[in-house]
Amino acid sequence: MRLPAHALLLATALSVSGCAPYIATCGWVVPDAGPELKVVGPRKPTAGECNCLNCKAPGRFKIVRDAYTLELWNGDRWYPELYVRARGKDGGVLTLSADSPELLRMAPHVPASATHGFEYFMRFDSDNVEAPAKILRISVVDSSGQVLGVETVRLKVESRKDVSIEYI
């Protein structure tokens, strides 16, 4: 295969200047719970990660019910993850119970600032972005143990290539 002249020129310039292109994959989770799920913010990756031009994606989501609000956030890293929390109408923290063992409660030693105040999370296989969507059923429970509602959320992973210049 013959490279176009501009590609050869770029490769030569990068090698002479001590730079090398780095190609990676950025992945993020996109929840779908029907029309009740609202996008409330864009995805904002950590500085230096996932800088591809086509990575504009939704990042924060909400489902608002009479007794609670369920919030989802797909994180700020290059790999797919999902954070989840529920709040009562009074703003109090509610417990989540899921039929999926992948939804885990955050460890007590993890600072809330690192997770933006989310108490639950899921990680996804970043090497298998073609995996079928997961279905997550979440029960929202108050402090007395009463189930306030059950949400079914379909989760799929989207990804894009990320090209950056690494200095060597």
- 10 lies in some domain: no
pLDDT for 6 equals: 54
Domain count across the chain: 1
- 135 lies in some domain: yes
- 25 or 109: whose pLDDT is higher? 109
Q: What is the mean pLDDT of residues 141-156?
A: 95
Residue 13, both tokens: 């310039």
- 4 lies in some domain: no
- 17 lies in some domain: no
- 102 or 89: whose pLDDT is higher? 89
- 103 or 13: whose pLDDT is higher? 103
- 14 lies in some domain: no
* Entry pTM: 0.78
Sheet strand arrangement including 147-167 = 19-32, 147-167, 134-141, 95-98
Widest distance between CA atoms in the chain: 69
- 9 lies in some domain: no
CA distance 55 to 74: 13
- 86 lies in some domain: yes
- Class of residue 127 by CB neighbours under 10 A (exposed 0-12, middle 13-18, buried 19+): exposed
- 92 lies in some domain: yes
47 is in which domain, residue-wise? 23-167
Question: What is the average pLDDT score of the chain?
Answer: 81
